[in-house]
Amino acid sequence: MCITSTINIIYVVRHYISPDNNVFMMSTTSRTGDSQTNTSDNQSGQRYGLFDETYQLFLQTFTANFMLILEHQNNASLYCPSIPPNLQGPIIIHEPPENFSVLNTSPYYPEVQHGGRYHPKTCLARHKIAIIVPYRDRWDILRRFLFHTHRFLQRQQLDYRIYVCEQAFDKTFNKGIVMNSCFKEILNLEPNTICFIMHDVDLLLIDDRNMYTCPSYPRHLSVAIDKFDYYLPYPELVGGVLAMRREHYILVNGYSTNYWGWGGEDDDMHKRITNKHLILERPPASIARYKMLKHTHQKLNPSRMKVLRTAHIRIDSDGVNNVKYKLLNTSFHHLYTHFLIDVGEQKRH
């Protein structure tokens, strides 16, 4: 109303001083001679021309700004709610049906696009994330993970894509190389990916209020796991499920590539986060709850503690900026994108 009144006032004033205003011009003519009339006409015309130019400039600026505000409001109204309406809270984990296939098109998730990509159809997702799943030799666990995870991610109204990153050949596992190579290949495939969630394949979320959104700082999501009686074993733990923005992953130089075998690389990541003065966030343990699927654990890396002691001096020289690997194959299945990666051979000292 205030804006409309302002425009009306400007219009009235503009109309009043216009040369076409006959009453104003006739009054001036009756009081003066012909020469004075010419002078008055010129001055009035100059005033009108200046005011008309100012009026047109104001109108153009106002229209542009007003349309920008309308566009922003329209876009805001198209976004999904900040709190998705279909969250269930605690989740009951169901076994996949016998006809559920990981390789073939799944009738259980018809809205998932080929390659494991999904985005809401009724609103614009507020977050675009890539889920990195390091993997090897756990086919049944991967099957259960995909069946379970797609379901709650859709309820969270995210624009997401699941990437299964498999280490090729029967070599000692190197999670750091797998994670860093997958990070780089995702950016080659989708350069506009903003947020990454590193997710162990054996962890199933059991409360969908633990949102897989893009945090302002690194966020450790798997705070309470059933294996540990839903307590955080130690404060430096960032393994399991970790969300990071792209710029933060690059800042900490990704994962160390010096840990061959199980263990050490996640504690090394914690040192990288704190060394770069990033805040580590955690959701409440009451909702950040997970079930760990049973599997055969690998042998612990016997040299992990020795390598960990030098973590602070290797941050900028050991990580995603110099990771060496070979991408052997990229394949697109219905429920995930698959990278097959050769991590090379462990150097012997």
Per-residue tens of pLDDT for the chain, all 349 residues = 445 555 555 554 455 555 554 444 344 444 444 555 555 555 556 655 666 777 677 777 767 666 555 455 555 579 999 999 999 999 999 999 999 999 899 999 999 999 999 999 999 999 999 999 999 989 999 999 999 999 999 999 999 999 999 999 988 999 999 999 999 999 999 999 999 999 999 999 999 999 999 999 999 999 999 999 999 999 999 999 999 999 999 999 999 999 999 889 999 999 999 999 999 999 999 999 999 998 776 777 888 999 999 999 999 999 999 999 999 999 999 999 999 999 999 877 5
Distance CA 177, CA 197 (A): 16
Nearest to 147 by CA among 207, 210, 92, 94: 94
Q: How many CA atoms lie within 13 A of 198 on its CB side?
A: 25
β partners of residue 327? 341
Q: Which CATH class is domain 117-342?
A: alpha beta
| Residue given tokens 């955690």 in the structure block | 282
Q: Are 299 and 211 in contact (CB under 8 A)?
A: no
Tokens read off for 101: 């296939």
pLDDT of the residue at 66: 60
Lateral strand order in the sheet of 289-292: 203-205, 289-292, 224-225
**C-alpha distance across the termini of the chain, in Å:** 78
For the CA atoms of 212, 217, 222, 224, the dihedral, rounded to the nearest 10 degrees, stands at: -120
β partners of residue 128? 159
Q: Are 334 and 116 in contact (CB under 8 A)?
A: yes
β partners of residue 338? 164, 331
Give buried/exposed letters for 186-212 (b at 16+ CB in 10 A, else e): beebeeebebbbbbbbbbbbbbbbbbb
For the chain, the domains span 2-78, 117-342
pTM (predicted TM-score):
0.79
pLDDT of the residue at 175: 96
Q: Are 177 and 341 in contact (CB under 8 A)?
A: yes
Distance CA 321, CA 192 (A): 19
309-312: long-range contacts (C-beta < 8 A, 24 or more apart)?
A: 311/256, 311/267, 311/268, 311/271, 311/272, 312/271, 312/275
- Other C-beta atoms closer than 10 Å to the C-beta of 323 total 22
